[in-house]
Structure 1
Amino acid sequence: MDIKEKLFREDYLFTREDILKSLELFVEHERLNEDPAYSSKVVKNRVKLCGKFIAAVKKSKLPVLTELWWYYEYQFLGNSIELNLCQADDIEVENDEISSMTSTVEHTLIKVECDYLTVEQYAAMHEVEPVTVRQWIRRGKLRHAKKNGRDWLIPDTEDKPRRGFTSVLYIVENEAHIESDEFPMLSACDLITILQDQNNKNKFICYLDDSKNKFNSKLELTRSEVERLEHTIIESGKTRVGGNIQFIPNIRGNM
């Protein structure tokens, strides 16, 4: 066994037991609520969602992965948790650690969603007025909210917005197209990245990428324009928020 395979076998998940052990440690980390810190009510709901996901994994029949470079991975996506079957490629090793790797999600095997709240329920949970929640939605501040007819539903795992702007990546799902008169280029892209200019807090940069055709473009936006852009993206219901960085337990280092 060469060093790449050895490190790969040490670092990733290949059995249902691996997944459950990792989830046990992940839940412990969620309860500690260190970084980023969430409100106590949101932590409770995140842990509740983990419990639902663990129950789904326990009910499932998952084979032991013996094919080299294939592994299981779970992702907490803010409003759901997914278990994916992944394939690794282009593995680079430096100082006896995997320093870089290309990972492809080949299949989503299990997906468990959180509970959703009405505007009024979400307002009560965070002790604000419903009008404040509607303002957050209109300004694109609740990135996991979804339109349900004329009403909005918000995940019980989504905290109230923090001060300032947080960079975001939206991934357009299922080859969908977002239609917008104000932002017509949305229909031509599958990745939307929004950043704040560090030298001018009222200026925002939006990168619009079509990864399939290797086309990319850039928009410079004001604060009000970026709020309208995010509202348009969220209201479409055709994207998910990507780029989540989550705690990854080392199950073999903790066994």
Structure 2
Amino acid sequence: MAGPVPGTSRLLRAGMGAAAVGLLLIYNSVDTVPADGSVPGQAAPPAATAAAVPGGAAPSGAGAPAAPVEAAPPLKRAKPTRLRIPQINVDAPFTELALNPAGQLDAPPPDDKNLVGWYRDGVSPGERGAAVVAGHVDTTKGPAVFLLLSLMLPGNKVEVQRADGTVAVFVVDAVETFAKDAFPDQRVYGRTPDAQLRLITCGGTYDKKRRDYLDNVVVFAHLESSRPA
């Protein structure tokens, strides 16, 4: 796997456990996000915590999914530029997610319904590890990019166009819903021996008092192939 983004600290090589808590909240409904766009309530993950240390054993606790039998060789690092999921009519550009001055992970902008976010200091889609892509299920403007994410099925294809001129093609392995207060951090964000992808949004019941959905929908996918864009 390619190393962390140049200039990042040694903290980038930390284990996955700290990553999940901060990453989880970027998938809240937009009306839970403060006016400054930051993610409330939790510290952000260290940069590249989504980028697992290659060759190491999975952290203690529930392990990440086993490597798919037909996984393609990992690709070199490259920024994702566009996400396409034909089965749910997704064709959306990427924005990079970073840390704000308070050390929290920014959420995708709430004023764009057709936008997905990628944590820029983590694994890029196609690299070895579990790349994380976030999208809103809705915004104050109406249904958003990942509205139908929970309807995806094993075998569906996910295409990520990359800045190096390649398209990484992923195949869905599973679609699961987890309560936010019982989110399986290690399973979602844990180390993987191959290139995998996690698509995450909100789901379940919307709690008006908390101004948040109670669950997260997670799509697990593995890299099947790549091709020129």
TM-score category, normalised to shorter length: under 0.3
Structure number with bigger Rg: 1
Instruction: Answer 1 or 2: which has greater helix percent.
Output: 1
TM-score (norm 2): 0.25
